[in-house]
Structures are given as structure tokens and as C-alpha cells.
Amino acid sequence: MSTQPDPSPVFPNDVQLKSPDGASARISPYGAHVLSWIRPNGDECMFLSPQAEFRLGAAIRGGAPIIFPQFSGMGDLPKHGFARTLPWEVARTDADSAVFWLSENETTRLWPHRFLAEYTARIGGNRLEMTLSVTNIDISPFMFTAALHTYLRVNDVLQASVTGLRGLVYQDSANGGKESHEESDRVVFPGEVDRIYFQTPPLIQLIDENRTLSVSAEGFPDTVVWNPGAEKCAKLADMEPDGYLRFVCVEAAAIASPIVLVPGETWRGSQILSA
């Protein structure tokens, strides 16, 4: 397992975190996007494509994009909403944490609601906690879907598996959206896997050759598991043809039942990674 992040462009205003125990993270205010999370032993846990695009209007391929206020194409907005392709305000930073804000602006008004989104990333030891909160500051209720589209580095996706999902209903987006039941103890990746698991348990695990990563969520009832496989990866301009071999996306999500907020109400969801 590589212990260093992939070479990638660094925005001049990236927020750098370093905890007293040696853990570190790098976060771009563009999308409040976690680009890197390195454990105290030097193990990089995030995948970032060497061909990721770092330009306004483009989503960064890898790390942990924030999906809000729409998951995928499930609505009238551009795919995955606007949060991942807008600059967020850096509200405050400490050695081991950073807080970012996004509120209604000229670009977000294609979604006609007034809101305040807050995102917090916190590191320490072998743990990364990412928390998204959304407050309705409008005069009417609104609804949204959301996810933390986390790309987790693996040594070889063909040897990796995700556990803790057996018995759950999932929507198979790689098979026309067909609903199925997960019958296996381990989700493996012989080809494209693109599934939305509903009402997932609070803890699942990504097992790799050299590491077991626990993925827990609070406030997010669903989980997306995704890897494009060889054929689809080869068609992605911001990915190396064999890039699919080096990551699995395990995404805390709220998709099946959109979050509804009345004026003044706040929703909060977290994804906690620990190795």
C-alpha cells in the first residue's frame, strides 16, 4: 500500500490539518473537499486521481466530494447538485479540524431556497470525521438529498470487499435501477458496482489486503457502494484507465427518503472513518 498521496495539483488556499499524533489532512475550500487523509503511520486513506481536474465548474475526481442538494440525476439540478463545484467560506480552523460554510448565492438559486450548510472535518489518530449540517433559513419548508462521496484507497479492488450489508435491499444502478437483496457477506468488485443500499447499519467495513477500514454514519440512512470497473473507468477523462483498481467509494447518503426541513430546522449527518 502506498503511504503517500498521489501527485496532484495543490490549490494555494488548501487548508492543511495536522494533529499532535501525526495524522494529517488536506482540504480544498473549493467544494469543502477533503483531498487527503493520512494516518499517523503515513498511510494515505483517500484516493485522488492524478488526472483530477482542478478548475472552476469541474468536480474533483477523488477525495470526499459533498453531494448536495441532489443525489445523482434524481431531480432537476445538475448531477449531484452544486455543493461540490462552489467555493465554501473557511469559517474557522484549528490544528486538527476545519469548518466551512456555504449559503444561498447567485449560483445556488437554480435551487430556489435559502439555506446555510456547514461542513466540519476533524482528524485524530486513525480517525476522520466529516459532518454536514443544513439549516433552513427560508420562510417555507424544503427537501433535499445528500451524500459524502468518499473515495477510499485500496491496494487492489479485485482483492477488496465491503462487509455488513447482507440482507439489505439495494438499488442496482449498474443494472437499470433494479431492486435486489444483498445475499452475500462480502460485496466484491469483479466489474462495475453501483448500488444504493437502503437503511444500512451504523457500521460497515472495507477490507483491503493491508487494512480494514470501519465506515460508520449518523444521520445518513443509506449507503452507496461504487466502483466503475475497467470499461467505464476507461471512458472517464479525469481518471487513468487502471485507476479503478485503486479505490472503492463507500458513501454515507440520504437518498431514498429526502430530508425535509421546516423554517429554522437543522439536519446533521456524519461519516466517521477509522482504521
Per annotation, catalytic residue among 44, 118, 182, 251: 251
Per annotation, catalytic residue among 149, 192, 209, 218: 149
End-to-end CA distance of the chain: 14
Told to judge if 53 belongs to the known catalytic residues of this protein, a careful annotator would answer no
Task: Report d(CA 268, CA 93) in Å as an integer.
Answer: 20
For 42, 136, 262, the CA distances from 143, given in Å and listed in that order, are 40, 10, 9
Give, for 233, the enclosing helix (H) or strand (E): helix 229-233
Told to judge if 181 belongs to the known catalytic residues of this protein, a careful annotator would answer no
Q: Are 260 and 146 in contact (CB under 8 A)?
A: no
Which residues are CB-contacts of 232 (< 8 A; sequence separation ≥ 6)? 192, 244
C-alpha cell recorded at residue 191: 466489474
The one-character DSSP state at 80 is T
Task: Report d(CA 87, CA 13) in Å as an integer.
Answer: 11
Instruction: Name the one residue in this structure whose C-alpha cell is 503511504.
Output: 3
Residues assigned a catalytic role:
149, 251
